[in-house]
Amino acid sequence: MKPQLIILSIIVLALLSCSYPRNFTRDFYRENESKLEALKNDFKNLYHQKPFAVLFEEKKFNHVNFEFITDTLKRIYHFNINENSLKDSLDLYQYNTPAILKLIKEMKEIQCTWINNIEYYVNLERRNLVMMAVRNRALNKAFKGESYCTLVFFERSQLFDEKGIFIDRADKKGRRQLNGYLLRKVNDSVGYAITKVYR
């Protein structure tokens, strides 16, 4: 093989390892839509009973940070999901323990690293959205490092431009961003951003 062809092959492989599949999010969402929607709905129902957030902190999905949210403060505790301390703490704080343990299991199955409820305001009206971050091998490239697909589930349809980028409802021009990343369309009420951080 000629040296130029070898060098060209190496450059092409390097470029491929720096980018994620173009339609990853739409394909991933379409293939897992029922699981993602069920996870979102389960979380919303449990959150309305008693607020909380969950974060998996390592790749094997065995350890979580659980954020206990009360009227006066937030407490974050670290748990091994295979030990009884998580169940005991959920019972102590009077959460729906069986349902939350089921939610954590569902998160692990779909590789959801983080799920949370976010409050925001539009024209002084309070609204909520659910954010979840997903880790997937297809997003993790040798030269680019680890990336996450952050999904944003709005309660109602959103505005977006002709390129599928969410735009601000107030001025209908400004592009919405998530921690500095453009928020793109999956469907009318779900957006995504490929980010370097999982929350």
In which residue are the tokens 């301390």 written? 85
| CA 68 – CA 148 distance, rounded (Å) | 24
- Measuring CA to CA, how many Å separate 182 from each of 147, 157, 164, 168? 15, 17, 10, 12
* Rounded mean pLDDT, 105-126: 90
| CA 179 – CA 73 distance, rounded (Å) | 24
Burial of 43 (0-12, 13-18, 19+ CB in 10 A): buried
Worst-scoring range by mean pLDDT, 99-103, 140-144, 181-185? Answer: 140-144
pLDDT for 161 beyond 60: yes
Q: What is the pLDDT of residue 163?
A: 85
Q: What is the pLDDT of residue 178?
A: 66
Q: Which long-range contacts (CB under 8 A, 24 or more apart) does 35-41 make?
A: 35/106, 35/109, 35/110, 36/110, 36/132, 36/151, 38/106, 39/103, 39/106, 39/107, 39/110, 39/112, 39/115, 39/132, 40/130, 40/132, 40/153
Q: At what angle do helices 24-49 and 97-110 cross, to 10 degrees?
A: 170
3-class secondary structure, 196: coil
Q: Is pTM beyond 0.85 here?
A: no
Q: What are phi and psi of 146, to 5 degrees?
A: -80, 140
* Rounded mean pLDDT, 183-196: 86
pLDDT for 10 beyond 60: no
